[in-house]
Amino acid sequence: MLKKLKILTLLFLAILTLPVQATTTAESRGLEISRKADSKDTGFKDSTAHLTMELKNKQGQTSLRHLRVKSLEVEADGDKSLSIFDKPADVKGTAFLTFSHSKEADEQWLYLPALKRVKRISSKNKSGPFMGSEFAYEDIASQELDKYTYKYIRDETINGIDCFVIERYPSYENSGYTRQQVWVNKQEYRPEKIVFYDRKDSLLKTLNYSNYKQYEGQFWRADKMHMENHQTGKSTLLSWFDYKFKTGLSDSDFNRSSLKRAK
């Protein structure tokens, strides 16, 4: 009798968990792909790079920004980064310090050299544009595994590259997105394309990665990142160059003092 009941219970449980099991599979697969991509980029320690941002409006008029970006890998948390503007000339010396966190809200400070002022930026502005570009603050912050939940969607080949298509859902507050679809290169586990959906779940932006280069025999970095806003017709092209890894940066290169003396 007892045995029978046990079998019945098991059977019952099995039936109950069956549909759940199926969704968990898509979710755990999505997470697994993302975890692998994340671990492939672990160990870069620190990096420096130059960056140009070309902003293009609907009419095709362009304006250019020049930046330098320093990053520091932080174990078991988000990375630290310092971005310093060289152009446009009126904002030269303006610097952004970001402490990304995997679970808590990111912390950001802005230094305005003309006023000698350090401003703490509210984490509420995550969805706001970074320096007038089509990249939001949340797009340029380091993409930590814990910032999203994931779901595997399908396999697809784009531009001759075999990709996993996964969907990720921001688990942090104040995101401007309901979801993002990411095309992950099956071979190298690097993103090839991201499609962003706004808070109303309408198509908002597409980000294409190209001209990938491998550094230190491990870390893939795209030289070109092109973000197109489908709702406004504007676009931004990031061109990265002069990447250097393991340059010996430390915590003291990413504090209030270093923010103020950034030139």
Query: Min. distance of Cβ 133 from other proteins in angstroms?
Result: 8
State the Cα–Cα distance between residues 114 and 91, nearest whole angstrom: 8
State the Cα–Cα distance between residues 29 and 21, nearest whole angstrom: 12
CB 109, CB 121: distance < 8 Å: yes
Binding mask 150-179 for other proteins (x = CB under 8 A): ------------------------x-x---
Nearer to other proteins, 26 or 110 (CB): 110
**3 state SS of 141:** coil
The interface with other proteins within residues 52-91 (CB under 8 A) comprises: 55, 57, 63-64, 87-91
Query: Min. distance of Cβ 176 from other proteins in angstroms?
Result: 8
Nearer to other proteins, 49 or 153 (CB): 49
Q: How far is CA 195 from CA 166, 168, 235, 251, in A?
A: 11, 10, 14, 34
Binding mask 182-221 for other proteins (x = CB under 8 A): ----------------------------------------
Q: Is the CA virtual torsion 195, 145, 77, 106 positive or negative? A: positive
Nearer to other proteins, 28 or 123 (CB): 123
Query: Min. distance of Cβ 54 from other proteins in angstroms?
Result: 11
Alpha helices in 122-245 (DSSP H): 137-140
Interface with other proteins (CB under 8 A), residue from 13, 128, 202, 214: 128
Answer left, alpha or beta for residue 119, where phi above 0 means left and psi between -120 and 50 means alpha: beta
Query: Min. distance of Cβ 192 from other proteins in angstroms?
Result: 27
The interface with other proteins within residues 233-262 (CB under 8 A) comprises: 252, 255-257, 261
User: What long-range pairs does 247-252 form, CB within 8 A, spacing at least 24?
Assistant: 247/46, 247/47, 247/48, 248/46, 249/46, 249/48, 249/70, 249/72, 250/72, 251/72, 251/80
Binding mask 130-149 for other proteins (x = CB under 8 A): -xxx----------------
Interface with other proteins (CB under 8 A), residue from 58, 124, 213, 224: 124
State the Cα–Cα distance between residues 255 and 162, nearest whole angstrom: 41
Residues that bind other proteins (CB under 8 A): 55, 57, 63-64, 87-92, 115-117, 120-125, 127-129, 131-133, 174, 176, 252, 255-257, 261, 263
